[in-house]
A and B are shown apart, each in its own frame.
Chain A
Amino acid sequence: MPKVKPHRTNPSLDMTPMVDLAFLLVTFFMLTTKFAAEEVVVVDTPSSTSDIKLPESNIIRLLIDKDKRVFFGFESDKAKPLLLEKMAAKYGVTFDAKQQKNFANLNSFGVPVQQLGALLSLNTEQRKKVNQPGIPIDSLNNQIIDWVMEARKANQEAIAKPTFIAIKGDNNADVATVKKVIQILQDKNINRFNLITDLENKPVVSR
């Protein structure tokens, strides 16, 4: 019997297809990644063991910071211009083309709708310096509920999708404000909320 000679192969293999794939994926992820936009205020969220992820879009984001201020953010590219239009009509204010464009890029804000135009006219750098007073939530001048309701309507009209309400509160935000915001929304029959938290390991519970 002849000795079986092992077939010698070249140890260097052709990496080209792998590199192609790797770069394809790099390009894909680079283009799809959205970096977290800067928030108007620093909100240090508490942690919880919940591991449910927040959906990508159609989110109404309510920020509550430690100074009892409420900020509003809306993540839905298509419905955002419609929301501004509706709010402008409701409060009798007008926004010019530049302000409307800036609103589409605005992450969240905390000024009464009457001052929103002035805020939108500023550029990004100037806007950071503005000390935003928060959106009024008193019963006399309750703008937050209008923002939320109009955002829901706008999203329904524009893309016919329901919205999620995410509440992002600071560790030291006071419960009275959070409860008030929840109360306001409950009055309009909104009973489902998502509280944005950090992840924390789930402890083992012995029963």
Chain B
Amino acid sequence: MAEIQQNSGGGGKGGKKRAKKMSTRIDMTPMVDLAFLLLTFFILTASFNKPNVMQLTMPVKEKNPEEQSELKASDAFTIVMSENDKLYYYEGLLAADVKPELKVSDYSADGIRKVLLERQRRNPKTVVLIKPSDKSNYKNMVDILDEMNITNQSKYAMVDVSKDDEDLIKSSGL
């Protein structure tokens, strides 16, 4: 760069000056810098704009319900998703004569994750029933499915909230 400025300064004199023999090689460094900058940018954008997905496989509808195996109450663990990022859970199944103890939790790392891990230690055959109520939002649904991935809970199912579940929540007053 400095050379070019010197040359232009000297050109104003008007004297017979022999053209300085310039080297045919030019400095390619800035161009290379730019090329690599663009290269990096395009490589990164190409691989980063692909969105991530979480796979959700719903159970296939059974044609003859008699063939389905009944879930044992001792293996069942139910999560009911409620409003304001709150969730309720209870162990076992709800029946007319059995009222399991309902507890409240949230989606944080210290919330349902701890409970799930602790439950898995006690019973590795645990099947989690996820019941998203209409008051919960989609983020909650993704969060809870994510919790299943994090805790390596392989058996879980999404089911509808039953009337009994709602009654249990109401009566518990949590």
Which residues does A use to contact B, with CB under 8 Å? Answer: 15-16, 18-19, 22-23, 25-26, 29-30, 32-36, 45-54, 56, 64, 166, 168-176, 178-179, 182, 186, 189, 191-200, 202-203, 205, 207
Contacts and interface: CB of A to CB of B under 8 A. Distances in A.
Interface string B156-167: 001010000000
Given A29-B43, A52-B52, A179-B132, 5 more contacts: A46-B138, A46-B139, A52-B54, A169-B138, A179-B160
What range describes how many residues of B lie at the interface? 35 or more
Given A49-B146, A50-B149, A207-B121, A175 B52 contact: no
25 contacts: A26-B39, A33-B42, A46-B139, A46-B142, A48-B52, A48-B146, A50-B53, A52-B54, A52-B55, A54-B51, A169-B142, A172-B138, A174-B137, A175-B136, A178-B138, A179-B132, A182-B58, A189-B60, A189-B61, A191-B59, A192-B58, A196-B52, A202-B150, A205-B113, A207-B117
Interface string B118-143: 00110000000000111011111111
Contacts of A23: 35
B32 interface: yes
Nearest to B28: A15
A196 to B, nearest CB: 5
B123 to A, nearest CB: 14
A51 B152 CA distance: 15
A56 B58 CA distance: 23
A76 B134 CA distance: 34
Interface of B: 28-29, 31-32, 35-36, 38-39, 42-43, 45-46, 49-61, 81, 109, 113, 117, 120-121, 132-134, 136-143, 145-146, 149-152, 158, 160
A134 to B, nearest CB: 15
A178 B46 contact: no
Main SS at interface, chain A: mixed
A171 B139 contact: yes
Nearest to A44: B139
A175 B81 contact: yes
A191 B139 contact: no
Contacts of B81: 175
A173 B137 contact: yes
B137 A175 contact: yes
A200 B143 CA distance: 11
Nearest to B142: A46
A52 B53 contact: yes
Contacts of A47: 142
Contacts of A173: 137-138
B134 A174 contact: yes
A49 B149 contact: yes
Given A23-B35, A194-B54, A175 B138 contact: yes
A15 B32 contact: yes
A140 B113 CA distance: 41
A62 B130 CA distance: 23
Contact of A48 (B31, B142, B152): B142
Given A33-B46, A54-B50, A203-B150, A193 B55 contact: yes
Most buried by A among B55, B57, B60: B55
B138 A174 contact: yes
A166 B61 contact: no
A194 B53 contact: yes
Nearest to A64: B138
Most buried by A among B59, B137, B140: B137
Given A52-B52, A182-B58, A197 B45 contact: no
